Amino acid sequence: MTEQDDLSPYRKQIDDLDHQIVELLLRRAQAASHIGEVKRRKDEPVYRPDREQGVYENIVKYAAEVRKQWQGEPLPELPESTFRNIYREIMSGSIALEGGPSVGYLGPPGSFSHMATRYRFGNSVRGMPMDTIPEIFRSVANLHEASYGVVPADNTAAGSVGITMDCFLDSSLQIYAEQFVRVRHHLMAANHIELANIRKIYTIPIGLEQCKEWARKNLPMHDVQVVETSSTARAAQMVAETSDGVAIASELASEIYGLKILSRDIQDSSDNITRFWIVGHEQCPPGKKDRTSLVLSFHDEPGGLFRILKPFHDAGINLTRIESRATRKNYGEYNFFIDLEGHREAEPVKSILQELERYTSFLKVLGSYPMGQVD
C-alpha cells in the first residue's frame, strides 16, 4: 500500500469535516447578523467584551464535554489558547458583519498597541493608527471618528503610563475591557545580515534597554550607531524604507513591513507584559470576574489613606494596584489610582464606593470591566 493510500481516508475525513465546519460558520454568521440588527434597533453596542469572555469560557467547557462523551478513538486535548485564537477570528468576522467598530490605537501599524488591538478585536477590525494617546481619547470622544480606543495602561518593567492616567482625569470615557500583551522583541532587517556586520540599529531607548544583555553578547555595540525612533513599529518602518541597518520590533511589524527576522525573542526578560485598556462610552454589566479602576484624592491629614483602604480590607476585596501620582496643581497633592477586584454595580464594591465619598475630596470610577487573561 502506498503512502497516498494510507493518507486518503484521513484526508477524505478532513474534507468532510471542513465542509461541515464551513456550513456551521456561515450559519453562525447569519445568527450574528440577526443579533446585529436587534442591537441597532435597541441602540446597543455591537462589541461586548463580557459576552466575548463568556464565549471563550463556553468553548473550553464544550471541548471538555465532547472529549468526555466521545465514544471513538480518544480525541486530542487542544490548548485553550488554540480555541481562543480560532474563536477570536470567528467573532471578529461576525462583529464586522454586524457593522463592527473602528478602533484607534497608538501607531504606526505594527506597534504593540496594534498587536493589542488585533488580540482583542481580531483581524477584521477597522484599525485607526494615531500619533498620540490624547489623540486616541479625542477621537473616541467624538463618536464619528473611532468607536473604541486601545491605550497602554502599565507595564511590568516600566510601571504605569502617566499620559494615559492624566487623560482620564479630563475625559468622560470609561475602561471597557483590558488586554495583556507579552512584549517579545525581535531583531529584523530588510535583507539577511550577519550579526557581526551590523553597524546601525533603529529602536526606541526602552526597546534597546530591554534587550541590553542580548545585545552585549551578540552585537559589536562599540561599532554600532543607535538611531532613536518614536516607536518600535517606526523603527521597522524606517528599516524597510531605507534597507539600512536593523530594527528591534514585534513580529507583527516584520510581517507588515516585509522584514526578515534575524534573531527571535532577544528581550532579556520573558515576563515583560504590557496591559492595555480598551476605552469607550459603554460599560458591561456585572460578570463572573470583574475589575474596577478608579482614581481618588483625599485631604492631607493623619489616617487619610488608612480610611480609604480599610473598607476594602474589611470586605475582603483584593486591590490589584494602588499608585500615587502628583496632581500637578499644588505641591504635596496626589491622586491615587486603584484597581480592585469586583464590579462597581455589585456588592460589596457598590457600598464601599458610596462610603468613600465621605472621605475623599475627589472620586472618579474609570470603569468596571471583565478581567483579562495573561497568555
pLDDT at 4: 60
pLDDT tens digits for range 14-59: 999 999 999 999 999 899 888 888 888 888 888 899 999 999 999 9
Would you say residue 197 has pLDDT above 80?
yes
Confirm whether 274 is a catalytic residue: yes
Q: Find the range with the poorest average confidence among 4-8, 41-45, 75-79, 284-288.
A: 4-8
Q: Which of 274, 292, 312, 360 is catalytic?
A: 274
pLDDT at 213: 94
pLDDT at 348: 97
Rounded to an integer, the average pLDDT of 185-195 is 95
In contact, 369 and 290? CB cutoff 8 Å: yes
pTM of the model as a whole: 0.89
Does residue 59 sit in helix, strand or coil?
A: helix
Q: Which of 15, 22, 177, 25 is nearest to 90 (CA)?
A: 25
Rounded to an integer, the average pLDDT of 127-147 is 92
Classify 102 in phi/psi space as left (phi over 0), alpha (psi -120 to 50) or beta.
beta
Q: Which of 112, 121, 168, 276 is catalytic?
A: 276
Confirm whether 276 is a catalytic residue: yes
Which domains are assigned to the chain? 3-97 (1.20.59.10), 102-183+273-277 (3.40.190.10), 189-263 (3.40.190.10), 283-370 (3.30.70.260)
pLDDT at 318: 97
What crossing angle do the helices spanning 80-97 and 49-69 adopt, rounded to 10°? Answer: 130
For residue 370, cis peptide bond before it (omega within 30 degrees of 0): no
**pLDDT tier for residue 332 given thresholds of 50, 70 and 90:** low
pLDDT tens digits for range 247-295: 999 999 999 999 999 999 999 988 899 999 999 999 999 999 999 999 9
Would you say residue 97 has pLDDT above 80?
no
pLDDT at 2: 56
The single-letter DSSP state of residue 318 is: P
pLDDT at 221: 86
pLDDT at 5: 67
